[in-house]
Protein backbone atom coordinates (compact mmCIF):
# COMPACT_ATOMS: atom_id res chain seq x y z
CA UNK A 1 0.00 0.00 0.00
CA UNK A 2 1.54 3.30 -1.08
CA UNK A 3 0.52 6.56 0.59
CA UNK A 4 1.77 9.92 -0.64
CA UNK A 5 1.76 13.22 1.22
CA UNK A 6 2.56 16.12 -1.07
CA UNK A 7 1.69 19.80 -1.61
CA UNK A 8 3.01 23.15 -0.44
CA UNK A 9 1.47 23.10 3.04
CA UNK A 10 2.76 22.06 6.45
CA UNK A 11 2.18 18.55 7.76
CA UNK A 12 3.67 16.15 5.21
CA UNK A 13 6.62 14.86 7.22
CA UNK A 14 4.76 15.22 10.51
CA UNK A 15 1.80 13.18 9.19
CA UNK A 16 4.25 10.38 8.42
CA UNK A 17 5.80 10.69 11.90
CA UNK A 18 2.33 10.55 13.43
CA UNK A 19 1.58 7.37 11.48
CA UNK A 20 4.80 5.98 12.93
CA UNK A 21 3.50 6.59 16.48
CA UNK A 22 0.28 4.73 15.60
CA UNK A 23 2.22 1.78 14.25
CA UNK A 24 4.44 1.80 17.35
CA UNK A 25 1.31 1.60 19.49
CA UNK A 26 0.34 -1.55 17.60
CA UNK A 27 3.77 -3.08 18.25
CA UNK A 28 4.86 -2.82 14.65
CA UNK A 29 8.30 -2.07 13.22
CA UNK A 30 9.06 1.15 11.39
CA UNK A 31 11.94 2.48 9.32
CA UNK A 32 12.16 6.14 8.31
CA UNK A 33 14.63 7.15 5.63
CA UNK A 34 14.99 10.90 5.27
CA UNK A 35 16.37 12.31 2.02
CA UNK A 36 18.11 15.67 1.65
CA UNK A 37 18.51 16.06 5.41
CA UNK A 38 21.52 15.31 7.57
CA UNK A 39 22.87 16.30 10.95
CA UNK A 40 20.00 18.68 11.39
CA UNK A 41 18.60 18.59 14.89
CA UNK A 42 15.14 17.46 14.00
CA UNK A 43 13.14 16.69 17.12
CA UNK A 44 12.01 13.37 15.67
CA UNK A 45 15.62 12.16 15.43
CA UNK A 46 16.36 12.86 19.08
CA UNK A 47 13.03 11.44 20.18
CA UNK A 48 12.88 8.24 18.13
CA UNK A 49 16.55 7.47 18.87
CA UNK A 50 15.58 6.05 22.26
CA UNK A 51 12.43 4.26 21.13
CA UNK A 52 12.57 0.54 20.29
CA UNK A 53 11.06 -0.77 17.02
CA UNK A 54 11.82 2.34 15.00
CA UNK A 55 14.92 3.18 12.96
CA UNK A 56 15.48 6.58 11.44
CA UNK A 57 18.31 7.20 8.99
CA UNK A 58 19.24 10.43 7.20
CA UNK A 59 20.90 10.92 3.83
CA UNK A 60 22.04 14.26 2.47
CA UNK A 61 23.94 17.21 3.86
CA UNK A 62 22.91 20.03 6.21
CA UNK A 63 23.02 22.44 3.25
CA UNK A 64 20.21 23.36 0.90
CA UNK A 65 20.37 21.62 -2.46
CA UNK A 66 20.56 23.91 -5.49
CA UNK A 67 18.05 22.41 -7.93
CA UNK A 68 19.76 23.87 -10.97
CA UNK A 69 23.20 22.88 -9.88
CA UNK A 70 23.22 20.06 -7.30
CA UNK A 71 26.58 19.07 -5.86
CA UNK A 72 28.12 15.65 -6.50
CA UNK A 73 27.56 14.77 -2.84
CA UNK A 74 23.84 15.57 -3.14
CA UNK A 75 23.49 13.02 -5.94
CA UNK A 76 25.62 10.45 -4.13
CA UNK A 77 23.68 10.78 -0.89
CA UNK A 78 20.31 10.45 -2.65
CA UNK A 79 21.48 7.32 -4.47
CA UNK A 80 22.83 5.87 -1.22
CA UNK A 81 19.53 6.69 0.45
CA UNK A 82 17.53 4.84 -2.17
CA UNK A 83 19.87 1.86 -1.99
CA UNK A 84 19.20 1.77 1.74
CA UNK A 85 15.46 2.04 1.03
CA UNK A 86 15.65 -0.96 -1.30
CA UNK A 87 17.57 -2.92 1.30
CA UNK A 88 15.07 -2.25 4.10
CA UNK A 89 12.09 -2.94 1.84
CA UNK A 90 13.58 -6.25 0.68
CA UNK A 91 14.52 -7.22 4.26
CA UNK A 92 10.80 -7.55 5.07
CA UNK A 93 11.65 -6.58 8.65
CA UNK A 94 9.42 -3.52 8.73
CA UNK A 95 5.65 -2.99 8.70
CA UNK A 96 5.88 0.69 7.81
CA UNK A 97 8.61 2.33 5.74
CA UNK A 98 8.65 6.11 5.28
CA UNK A 99 10.72 7.66 2.50
CA UNK A 100 10.69 11.25 3.66
CA UNK A 101 11.28 13.91 0.97
CA UNK A 102 11.82 11.29 -1.73
CA UNK A 103 9.41 13.30 -3.93
CA UNK A 104 11.76 16.27 -3.80
CA UNK A 105 14.84 14.13 -4.51
CA UNK A 106 13.02 12.87 -7.63
CA UNK A 107 11.88 16.32 -8.68
CA UNK A 108 15.43 17.67 -8.28
CA UNK A 109 16.63 14.71 -10.36
CA UNK A 110 19.03 13.57 -7.67
CA UNK A 111 17.81 10.03 -8.42
CA UNK A 112 16.28 8.88 -11.66
CA UNK A 113 12.61 7.85 -11.74
CA UNK A 114 13.64 4.78 -13.77
CA UNK A 115 15.52 3.53 -10.73
CA UNK A 116 12.75 4.31 -8.28
CA UNK A 117 9.36 3.74 -9.91
CA UNK A 118 9.53 0.10 -11.06
CA UNK A 119 10.96 -0.95 -7.69
CA UNK A 120 8.25 0.88 -5.73
CA UNK A 121 5.54 -0.50 -7.99
CA UNK A 122 6.78 -4.05 -7.54
CA UNK A 123 7.05 -3.94 -3.75
CA UNK A 124 4.48 -1.43 -2.52
CA UNK A 125 1.90 -4.08 -1.67
CA UNK A 126 4.26 -6.04 0.60
CA UNK A 127 4.09 -3.39 3.32
CA UNK A 128 2.82 0.07 4.20
CA UNK A 129 4.97 2.54 2.30
CA UNK A 130 4.76 6.30 2.75
CA UNK A 131 6.47 8.85 0.51
CA UNK A 132 6.48 12.53 1.40
CA UNK A 133 7.58 15.82 -0.10
CA UNK A 134 6.42 18.54 -2.47
CA UNK A 135 6.32 17.96 -6.21
CA UNK A 136 5.35 14.28 -6.21
CA UNK A 137 5.93 13.09 -9.80
CA UNK A 138 2.81 12.14 -11.78
CA UNK A 139 4.03 8.58 -12.33
CA UNK A 140 4.26 8.08 -8.58
CA UNK A 141 0.79 9.54 -8.00
CA UNK A 142 -0.49 7.11 -10.58
CA UNK A 143 0.67 4.00 -8.72
CA UNK A 144 -0.26 5.35 -5.26
CA UNK A 145 -3.21 4.00 -3.31
CA UNK A 146 -3.74 7.13 -1.28
CA UNK A 147 -2.68 10.69 -2.09
CA UNK A 148 -3.17 13.67 0.18
CA UNK A 149 -2.26 17.17 -0.85
CA UNK A 150 -1.30 19.43 2.04
CA UNK A 151 -2.45 22.82 0.85
CA UNK A 152 -1.27 26.01 2.47
CA UNK A 153 -4.34 28.14 3.13
CA UNK A 154 -2.83 30.65 5.50
CA UNK A 155 0.64 31.20 6.85
CA UNK A 156 1.88 33.45 9.63
CA UNK A 157 4.23 36.19 8.65
CA UNK A 158 7.46 35.56 10.42
CA UNK A 159 9.30 38.66 11.48
CA UNK A 160 12.54 36.83 11.18
CA UNK A 161 12.74 33.78 8.99
CA UNK A 162 14.31 31.48 11.53
CA UNK A 163 12.49 28.20 11.90
CA UNK A 164 10.64 27.59 15.14
CA UNK A 165 11.96 24.74 17.30
CA UNK A 166 9.57 21.80 17.47
CA UNK A 167 7.25 23.06 14.77
CA UNK A 168 9.63 23.22 11.85
CA UNK A 169 12.26 20.70 12.85
Rounded distance between C-alpha atoms, residue 58 and residue 93, angstroms: 19
* DSSP per position, 107-123: HTTSS-HHHHHHHHHHH
Is residue 11 within a helix (H) or strand (E), and if so which, with residue range? Answer: none
We find the least distance from the C-beta atom of residue 68 to a copy of itself, in angstroms, to be 28
* Residues at the contact surface with a copy of itself, assessed by CB under 8 A: 1, 3, 5, 7, 9-26, 28, 42-48, 95-96, 128, 141, 144-156, 164-167, 169
We find the least distance from the C-beta atom of residue 4 to a copy of itself, in angstroms, to be 8
We find the least distance from the C-beta atom of residue 18 to a copy of itself, in angstroms, to be 3
Angle between helices 72-91 and 113-123 (to 10 degrees): 10
Rounded distance between C-alpha atoms, residue 169 and residue 167, angstroms: 6
Residue placing its CB nearer to a copy of itself in the complex, 119 or 169: 169
Spatial contact of 13 and 139, defined as CB atoms under 8 Å apart? no
Residues with Cβ within 8 Å of 146's Cβ and at least 6 positions away in sequence, in order, are 1, 2, 3, 4
We find the least distance from the C-beta atom of residue 38 to a copy of itself, in angstroms, to be 16
Residue placing its CB nearer to a copy of itself in the complex, 69 or 162: 162
Residue placing its CB nearer to a copy of itself in the complex, 49 or 122: 49
Residue placing its CB nearer to a copy of itself in the complex, 110 or 127: 127
Amino acid sequence: MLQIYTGNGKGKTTASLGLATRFLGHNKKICIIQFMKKNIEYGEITFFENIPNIDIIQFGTPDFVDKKNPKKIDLEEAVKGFHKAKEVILSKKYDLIILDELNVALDFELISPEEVLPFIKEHKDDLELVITGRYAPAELLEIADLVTEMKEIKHYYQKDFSAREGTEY
